[in-house]
Amino acid sequence: MNNKKVISNILFVAFQVILLITAVASTVTKEWKNLFLSILSIISISIPFAITYLAKKRKIDLPRSFQVVVMAFIFSAQYFGEIGRLYTKFWWWDLLLHFVSGFYMVIIALYLIKGIYRHKQGSSKERFIFFNTIFAFSFSIALGTLWELFEFVGDYLFKSNMVKGGLIDTATDLLVKVLGAFIASILYHSGKLKK
């Protein structure tokens, strides 16, 4: 078993234990919103493992850090952000997570490209890298836009409060994601970001 697998398994167990304790405590104190968020997080923490399993079956490359990064992201958003109220304590917490997601989605896109598009003899290396950069940047922005639509639909249908500042919140989130994606794309294009 490689180190990344060991780390992801340890994190999975640690996060699940923390979330189960929080769920029990929330039930005792009748904090139903935190109970719901804990249950949602318990389920969400499993998603990276399902994605990795499906990717392996279909021979799709993902970064070795995929499970660790996605679990840490979900835990940071749900547990620290919502349950721990870091979204309200630190104005920059939401922006940090959007920046990280924009950056990391570029890395995921580059791995996906690796399994689909190969550098051919007839095209130059510069053209190949340029295509990869444009695709990865666009992929990151597309996923960020879909997330903002998810927040809007959630607020509209379920009367949640994900889009706390309305248009300003959505636009700021998208700008920060674009910045993260742009920096990752520039680093890749210049050869400083290794997959």
Q: Is the pLDDT reported for residue 156 higher than 90? A: no
Could you tell me the pLDDT band of residue 122, with boundaries at 50, 70 and 90? Answer: low
Distance, CA of 28 to CA of 31 (rounded, Å): 8
pLDDT at residue 158 in the model: 67
Query: What burial letters (b/e) apply to 50-63, b meaning 16+ CB within 10 Å?
Result: ebbeebeeeeebbb
pLDDT at residue 107 in the model: 96
Rounded to an integer, the average pLDDT of 17-42 is 94
Rounded to an integer, the average pLDDT of 157-161 is 71
pLDDT digits (tens, 9 = 90+) for 32-50: 989 998 999 999 999 999 9
Q: What's the whole-number average pLDDT of the chain?
A: 90
Distance, CA of 174 to CA of 169 (rounded, Å): 9
Determine the Cα angle at 32 with ends 50 and 166, to 5°: 75
- Domain range summary for the chain, segments of one domain joined by +: 1-80, 91-195
pLDDT digits (tens, 9 = 90+) for 69-91: 999 999 999 999 989 999 899 99
Rounded to an integer, the average pLDDT of 7-31 is 95
Residue 135 in tokens: 């695709």
pLDDT at residue 155 in the model: 78
Could you tell me the pLDDT band of residue 195, with boundaries at 50, 70 and 90? Answer: low
